[in-house]
């Protein structure tokens, strides 16, 4: 058949692919945000800027050191994660004793600082990044680029392994315990401040990795985090702040929803996620998978 | 609001009046008008954040929406500025009421996210709808005579009108804060379950202050539209909300004058660094970071705290207690 719900099949599959791609990034980014919020109770407004940093690191590795995509995938999250570690140690840690809103504002300020710095250096136009996985698959009438398949598969793998580490391993158990009752966990001899620092680094590293993976698809420019971050916040809120599985499922789900809305109801595509968020908050205030805050 | 003695307060008010009257002859009126509009927006946000404990990320939606409605009313429907501004404020109040209904029931970060979502919604609507002029915005809004009588084409006249409006806005905030209503708000902010147990319907109070805050933000936006004769999508972005927040924090949360000081600094900075646009963003981010890390009370707040410390030192308890009577 050539049509589905009255839309040509090739267009449907094309939009589905786009939705899954966007969903992959939504899922990866909201995963990082959820982890950070779950343990540190900090809303990391710098997440979009750290994503942008990751893309620029990947681009810089190629441009100045000739390091290609695949090594960059390993190096970028480490570099960006290190930046996160420093940020936590020097800045965020001092704000745990005061109202959580100050930490949020700090990350907001850091995001502005980073965006301003990169705009100053690189301007607002984008730098291209070559596609490392050229070619693709013919599926009937549609052409599916191989790189996009890789992105979707990689994000799924990353999301599920992160979920596994947090929910099914000892380290994850420590993290979840510290989330519930940090002082008590400290009395067991576990270095909670270091765990907080590493958690923040992990979340930031995930953002950086998303940026590196995004580089061949979207142009590498200082504003790339901006439009993404607001949508990702909506995803995290719908999924439930602090819920790992919620972020993953909601990320992919909303990406697909957005992609398909573009097909059936193009004008609403920009706002469908926010409408979904408002609807979710009206019905299930703590998100689809969230729990009551303590 | 700092409790100065009555004499000091009158002197300060007289001084402020003198400054306001003389200022347009020293600095460009348009510059002063911009400061006042942003000061009012920040003050509206400050009311919500400091006295109700609700951090809104979407105040730009009230600012921009009111601006668009007023601009449209004056340009297309031919209304004179006062009516135009009133319509803008009413629209902002309605949006505030609808948003508030949904947002108030949630706490903390969820509240902030709902406001952000609504703001993005409004932004996208404004982008698509015809009457907003899309990417171009609404331009060449005519400067009609106020109430059909007062000529506003000159910048000086416009400055005085804006000063009056801004003063009214700040006075409204002062009345809200220093009133039984304001006391109940503070009680709800500090310990909501207790306030509820005392019989106050906290959600109603929060919704009301949210609508007041939205209306004042709308007032700022409408006034800006009339004064500068243009409204664009930039007024609706969360960047504008962020700037308002920065002004609040820099000036000092929980103070009445904080937004004014903050607005003066931030608007001046973006003007004097206008040629270096990227520097503005970097500096704003740096200011944010420095203030949050080191001067959490903001400029005015730190000054008040210093005054308090000085007063406390004067009234220090003597080291040797008085000998009790036998």
Mean pLDDT along residues B82-101 = 92
Over 70: is that where the pLDDT of B326 sits?
A: no
- How far apart CA B91 and CA B251 sit, in angstroms, is 28
- How far apart CA A260 and CA A257 sit, in angstroms, is 5
CA distance B18 to chain A (A): 36
Q: Of A52, A106, A107, A112, which to mutate for an interface test with B (greatest number of B Cβ within 10 Å)?
A: A112
Pick from A102, A119, A87: which is nearest to B280 by CA?
Answer: A119
Pick from B260, B259, B279: which is nearest to B269 by CA?
Answer: B279
> Which of A46-60, B7-21, B295-309 has the least mean pLDDT?
B7-21
Kindly determine whether residue A274 and residue B121, on different chains, have CB atoms separated by under 8 Å.
yes
Residue pair B49/B248 in contact by the 8 Å Cβ criterion = yes
Mean pLDDT of all residues belonging to chain B: 86
- How far apart CA B182 and CA B316 sit, in angstroms, is 31
Between A44 and B22, the higher pLDDT residue = A44
> Which of B115-129, B215-229, B280-294 has the least mean pLDDT?
B115-129
pLDDT band at residue A287 under the 50/70/90 scheme: confident
pLDDT at A176: 82
Kindly determine whether residue B279 and residue A116, on different chains, have CB atoms separated by under 8 Å.
yes
Over 50: is that where the pLDDT of B1 sits?
A: no
pLDDT at B322: 67
The neighbour count for residue A135, using CB atoms within 10 Å, is 9
Over 80: is that where the pLDDT of A5 sits?
A: no
Residue spans of alpha helices (H) in A41-145: 47-65, 69-90, 100-122
A230 touches chain B (CB under 8 A): yes
> Which of A101-110, A119-128, B187-196 has the least mean pLDDT?
A119-128
Give the Cα-Cα-Cα angle A97, A101, A103 (nearest 5 degrees): 65
Kindly determine whether residue A120 and residue B278, on different chains, have CB atoms separated by under 8 Å.
yes
> Which of A168-177, B136-145, B305-314 has the least mean pLDDT?
B136-145
Pick from A35, A39, A55: which is nearest to A220 by CA?
Answer: A55
Task: Give residue B140's region: left, alpha or beta (phi > 0; psi -120 to 50).
Answer: left
Helix (H) or strand (E) holding A224: helix A224-239
The two structure tokens encoding residue A184: 């008590």
Kindly determine whether residue B117 and residue A277, on different chains, have CB atoms separated by under 8 Å.
yes
- How far apart CA A239 and CA A251 sit, in angstroms, is 8
pLDDT band at residue B317 under the 50/70/90 scheme: low
A286 touches chain B (CB under 8 A): yes
Over 80: is that where the pLDDT of B217 sits?
A: yes
pLDDT at B114: 82
By three-state DSSP, how is residue A7 classified? strand
Return phi, psi of residue B136, to 5°. -80, -30
Beta pairing class for A136-139 and A7-8: unpaired
Most confident of A27-36, B142-151, B273-282: A27-36
pLDDT at A51: 95
For A241, the closest of B109, B128, B288 (CB atoms) is B109
| pTM, entire model | 0.86
Question: A–B: how many Cβ contacts below 8 A?
Answer: 114
- How far apart CA A110 and CA A259 sit, in angstroms, is 31
- How far apart CA A140 and CA A135 sit, in angstroms, is 16
| ipTM score over 0.85, yes or no | no
The two structure tokens encoding residue A179: 């989330």
The two structure tokens encoding residue A202: 């992990």
Helix (H) or strand (E) holding A139: strand A136-139
Over 70: is that where the pLDDT of B319 sits?
A: no
Q: Is B33 exposed, middle or buried (0-12, 13-18, 19+ CB in 10 A)?
A: buried
Q: Is A14 exposed, middle or buried (0-12, 13-18, 19+ CB in 10 A)?
A: middle
Over 50: is that where the pLDDT of B25 sits?
A: yes
Residue spans of alpha helices (H) in chain B: 6-22, 29-46, 52, 59-75, 81-103, 108-128, 155-177, 180-190, 192-197, 202-228, 238-251, 258-272, 277-294, 298-314
Check the CA dihedral B272-B273-B275-B280 and report its sign: negative
Return phi, psi of residue A248, to 5°. -65, -55
Over 80: is that where the pLDDT of B275 sits?
A: no
Q: Is B302 exposed, middle or buried (0-12, 13-18, 19+ CB in 10 A)?
A: middle
pLDDT band at residue A294 under the 50/70/90 scheme: very low
Pick from B88, B42, B33: which is nearest to B64 by CA?
Answer: B88
pLDDT at A111: 92
Over 60: is that where the pLDDT of A10 sits?
A: yes
Which chain A residue has the Cα nearest residue B242? A108
- How far apart CA B89 and CA B216 sit, in angstroms, is 7
B102 touches chain A (CB under 8 A): yes
Residues 199-238 of B with CB under 8 A from A: 238
């Amino acid at each position: 058949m050539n049509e589905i719900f009255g839309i040509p099949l090739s267009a449907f599959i094309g939009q589905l692919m786009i939705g899954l791609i966007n969903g992959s990034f939504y899922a990866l980014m909201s995963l990082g945000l959820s982890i950070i919020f779950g343990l540190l109770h900090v809303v990391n407004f710098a997440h979009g800027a750290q994503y942008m940093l990751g893309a620029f690191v990947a681009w810089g590795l190629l441009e100045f050191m000739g390091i290609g995509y695949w090594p960059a995938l390993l190096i970028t999250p480490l570099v960006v994660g290190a930046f996160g570690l420093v940020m936590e140690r020097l800045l965020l840690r001092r704000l745990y004793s005061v109202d959580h809103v100050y930490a949020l504002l700090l990350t907001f300020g850091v995001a502005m600082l980073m965006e301003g710095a990169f705009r100053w250096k690189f301007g607002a136009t984008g730098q291209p990044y070559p596609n490392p996985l050229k070619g693709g698959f013919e599926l009937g009438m549609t052409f599916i680029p191989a790189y996009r398949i890789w992105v979707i598969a990689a994000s799924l793998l990353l999301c599920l392994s992160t979920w596994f580490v947090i929910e099914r391993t000892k380290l994850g158990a420590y993290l979840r315990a510290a989330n519930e009752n940090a002082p008590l966990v400290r009395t067991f001899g576990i270095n909670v401040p270091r765990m907080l620092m590493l958690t923040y680094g992990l979340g930031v590293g995930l953002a950086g990795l998303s940026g590196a993976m995004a580089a061949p698809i979207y142009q590498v420019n200082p504003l790339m985090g901006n439009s993404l971050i607001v949508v990702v916040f909506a995803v995290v809120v719908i999924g439930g702040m602090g819920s790992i599985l919620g972020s993953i499922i909601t990320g992919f789900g909303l990406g697909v929803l957005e992609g398909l809305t573009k097909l059936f109801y193009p004008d609403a595509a920009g706002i469908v996620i926010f409408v979904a968020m408002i609807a979710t908050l009206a019905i299930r205030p703590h998100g689809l998978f969230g729990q009551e805050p303590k | 609001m700092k409790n100065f003695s009555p004499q000091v307060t009158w002197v300060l008010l007289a001084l402020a009046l003198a400054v306001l009257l003389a200022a347009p002859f020293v600095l460009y009126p348009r510059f002063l008008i911009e400061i006042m509009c942003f000061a009012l927006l920040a003050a509206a946000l400050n009311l919500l954040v400091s006295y109700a404990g609700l951090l809104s990320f979407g105040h730009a939606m009230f600012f921009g929406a009111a601006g668009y409605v007023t601009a449209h009313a004056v340009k297309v429907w031919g209304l004179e500025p006062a009516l135009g501004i009133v319509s803008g404020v009413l629209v902002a109040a309605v949006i505030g009421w609808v948003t508030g209904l949904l947002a108030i029931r949630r706490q903390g970060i969820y509240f902030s996210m709902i406001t952000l979502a609504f703001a993005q919604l409004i932004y996208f609507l404004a982008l698509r709808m015809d009457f907003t002029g899309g990417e171009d915005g609404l331009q060449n809004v005519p400067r009609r005579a106020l109430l059909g009588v007062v000529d506003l084409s000159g910048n000086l006249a416009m400055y005085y009108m804006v000063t009056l409006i801004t003063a009214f806005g700040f006075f409204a905030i002062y009345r809200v804060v220093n009133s039984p209503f304001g006391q109940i708000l503070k009680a709800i902010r500090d310990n909501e379950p207790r306030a509820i147990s005392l019989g106050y319907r906290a959600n109603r109070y929060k919704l009301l202050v949210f609508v007041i805050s939205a209306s004042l933000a709308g007032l700022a936006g409408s006034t800006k539209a009339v004064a500068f004769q243009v409204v664009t999508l930039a007024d609706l972005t969360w960047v504008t909300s962020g700037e308002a927040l920065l002004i609040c924090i820099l000036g000092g949360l929980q103070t009445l004058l904080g937004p004014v000081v903050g607005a003066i600094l931030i608007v001046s900075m973006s003007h004097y660094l206008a040629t270096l646009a990227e520097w503005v963003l970097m500096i704003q981010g740096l200011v944010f970071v420095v203030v949050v890390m080191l001067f959490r009370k903001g400029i005015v707040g730190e000054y008040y705290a210093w005054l308090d410390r000085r007063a406390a030192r004067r009234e220090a308890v003597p080291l040797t207690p008085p000998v009790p009577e036998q």
